[in-house]
Amino acid sequence: GQQLNQSPQSMFIQEGEDVSMNCTSSSIFNTWLWYKQDPGEGPVLLIALYKAGELTSNGRLTAQFGITRKDSFLNISASIPSDVGIYFCAGQLTSNTGKLIFGQGTTLQVKP
């Protein structure tokens, strides 16, 4: 089945540092989404990307939809302790159901 390769698997950084994570796929996606999940909770949508090449920001977060439609990255600038959590990318293949394919997740830890 379709898979998304998300990297890195985990990151341990110092507060104030910038963070970058990415997802790649062998399949073309119509939509790329980035979610954050805190322990014991459901994922929360951070950024949605709908067009190839699109660059979108949400506060300190910036994400881009790759030109080939097979990849996306998420950057977090000036990290803070509350950025701790698991970040997932998700791709939407078809437009008739909204079904998502998830990456494996990137666990982010921030040292104050």
Partner 1 sequence: GAVVSQHPSWVICKSGTSVKIECRSLDFQATTMFWYRQFPKQSLMLMATSNEGSKATYEQGVEKDKFLINHASLTLSTLTVTSAHPEDSSFYICSATFFSGGSYEQYFGPGTRLTVT
Taking the C-alpha atoms of residue 16 and residue 61, their distance in angstroms, rounded to an integer, is 13
Phi, psi of 98 (to 5 degrees): 80, 10
Compare residues 90 and 110 and give the one whose CB is closer to partner 1: 90
Q: Scanning residues 34 to 93, which ones bind partner 1 (CB under 8 A)? A: 35, 40-45, 48, 50, 88, 92
Nearest to 92 by CA among 67, 65, 73, 56: 65
Query: Does residue 111 bind partner 1 (CB under 8 A)?
Result: no
Binding site for partner 1 (CB under 8 A): 1, 30-31, 33, 35, 40-45, 48, 50, 88, 92, 95, 97-100, 102-105, 107
